């Protein structure tokens, strides 16, 4: 029976080797990137099985692409473009209603500093185009009265612009919403741990293994350097900064976060970081606080117990909400 012991041992070793290589890899972290909504999106996931984690990440990217197709005002077939073309009320789907309602709520809380109807103004500045420019004062002035009220009126499932000068641009909230949807997909796939980073809009599922996720906050005036880090689990953290998209003329920086009252780039902050339960909310709040400036902005963040934040004023001074003090690790 033991005529060929070596062959038997070799066969057993082979079986062991195969089953070892096919075993589920428990803590393998998978990281993938994709270009969505004009931003490099990075998703990291940890799950019981690497192939399953990869599939979950692909599905998360897919849902983000479908949200881009729904919310982008630069895609002709999106529902937002249809609302922008329509003269009366248009039936919107529940996701669009949800985002518009959340956006309008934050718009009201911020006395209009966050406004979803700035499409025409953003086009005048050309931040999305290859050649951004300072528009004619008169062209800006003509639009401003439209931004003193809600962007849309909603009745049932119908959505209508409140003024013909309003063109919806959800650039300040839709990316955050898409990250929330990606996290839902990753959670539903059974991943214990994941992070989705869409150019500074970050959603976290669980911690990073046994530890919390360590998130760096970019220094607004030192490219590639961190201002601080925060340790977080199951949270959203979003930063809006004037360094993200800007051009300079005669030493003046013109950037993409506009003050709806003046039609000009908001001047009171260099950057705003908001920590909240959901990314959509953190996204809109970061833009709102950026426009409001350090004092009113801090008051807005302190109003909600579930929300924290860090504000770098135009002078470089940093303000932190009470609940975040002691949690920030400075660099």
Nearer to ligand AMP, 57 or 258 (CB): 258
CB neighbour list of residue 108: distance below 8 Å, 6 or more residues apart? 150
Scanning 4-12, 55-63, 182-190, 253-261 for contacts with ligand AMP by CB under 6 A, the matching segment is 253-261
CA angle 255, 259, 260 (to 5 degrees): 130
Nearer to ligand AMP, 47 or 265 (CB): 265
Scanning 25-33, 116-124, 220-228, 304-312 for contacts with ligand AMP by CB under 6 A, the matching segment is 116-124
According to CB under 5 A, which one of 150, 169, 242, 283 is a site residue for Mg ion?
283
274 scored as a contact of ligand AMP (CB under 6 A)? no
The answer to whether 290 and 240 have CB atoms below 8 angstroms apart is yes
Find the binding residues for ligand AMP in span 297-326 (CB under 6 A). Answer: none
115 scored as a contact of ligand AMP (CB under 6 A)? yes
According to CB under 6 A, which one of 82, 122, 134, 264 is a site residue for ligand AMP?
122
203 scored as a contact of ligand AMP (CB under 6 A)? no
CB neighbour list of residue 298: distance below 8 Å, 6 or more residues apart? 289, 309, 311, 319, 321
120 scored as a contact of ligand AMP (CB under 6 A)? no
Angle between helices 94-109 and 279-292 (to 10 degrees): 30
Find the binding residues for Mg ion in span 163-202 (CB under 5 A). Answer: 172
Q: Which of 180, 183, 200, 202 lies closest to 192 in space, CA to CA?
A: 183
171 scored as a contact of ligand AMP (CB under 6 A)? yes
According to CB under 5 A, which one of 213, 287, 311, 313 is a site residue for Mg ion?
287
The answer to whether 102 and 217 have CB atoms below 8 angstroms apart is no
Find the distance separating the first CA and the last CA of the chain, reported in whole Å: 70
# residues contacting Mg ion (CB under 5 A): 4
CB atoms inside a 10 Å sphere around CB 121: 24
143 scored as a contact of ligand AMP (CB under 6 A)? no
Helix-strand-coil split of the chain, %, nearest 5: 35, 25, 35
239 scored as a contact of Mg ion (CB under 5 A)? no
# residues contacting ligand AMP (CB under 6 A): 19
- Residue 235 contact partner, candidates Mg ion, ligand AMP, none, CB within 5 to 8 A by sort of partner: none
Q: What string of DSSP letters covers 224-283?
A: T-EEEEEEESS-EEEEEETTSSEEEETTEEEES-B-TTTSSB--SEEEEEEEESSHHHHH
- Sites of contact with Mg ion (CB under 5 A): 172, 283, 286-287
- Sites of contact with ligand AMP (CB under 6 A): 114-116, 118, 122, 127, 169, 171-172, 240, 244, 256-258, 260, 283, 286-287, 291
């Amino acid at each position: 029976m033991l005529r060929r012991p070596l062959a038997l041992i070799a066969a057993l070793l082979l079986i062991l080797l195969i089953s070892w290589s096919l075993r589920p890899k428990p803590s393998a972290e998978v990281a993938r990137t994709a270009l969505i909504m004009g931003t490099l999106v990075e998703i990291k996931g940890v799950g019981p099985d690497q192939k399953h984690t990869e599939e979950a990440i692909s599905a998360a990217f897919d849902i983000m692409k479908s949200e881009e197709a729904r919310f982008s005002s630069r895609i002709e077939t999106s529902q937002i473009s249809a609302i922008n073309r329509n003269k009366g009320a248009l039936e919107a789907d529940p996701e669009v209603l949800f985002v518009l309602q959340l956006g309008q709520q934050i718009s009201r809380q911020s006395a209009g500093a966050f406004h979803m109807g700035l499409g025409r103004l953003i086009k005048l500045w050309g931040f999305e185009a290859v050649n951004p420019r300072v528009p004619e004062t008169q062209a800006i002035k003509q639009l401003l009265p439209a931004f003193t009220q809600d962007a849309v009126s909603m009745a049932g499932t119908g959505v209508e612009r409140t003024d013909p000068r309003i063109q919806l641009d959800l650039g300040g909230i839709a990316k955050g919403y898409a990250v929330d949807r990606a996290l839902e997909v990753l959670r539903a796939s059974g991943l214990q741990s994941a992070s989705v980073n869409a150019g500074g809009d970050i959603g976290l599922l669980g911690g990073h293994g046994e530890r919390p996720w360590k998130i760096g906050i970019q220094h607004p005036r030192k490219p590639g350097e961190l201002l601080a880090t925060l340790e977080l689990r199951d949270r959203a953290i979003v930063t809006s900064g004037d360094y993200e998209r800007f051009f300079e003329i005669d030493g003046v920086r013109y950037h993409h976060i506009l003050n709806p009252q003046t039609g000009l780039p908001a001047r009171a902050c260099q950057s705003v970081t908001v920590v909240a339960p959901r990314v959509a909310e953190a996204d809109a709040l970061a833009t709102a606080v950026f426009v409001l400036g350090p004092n009113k902005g801090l008051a807005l963040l302190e109003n909600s117990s579930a929300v924290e934040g860090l504000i770098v004023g135009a002078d470089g001074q940093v303000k932190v909400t009470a609940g975040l003090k002691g949690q920030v690790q400075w660099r």
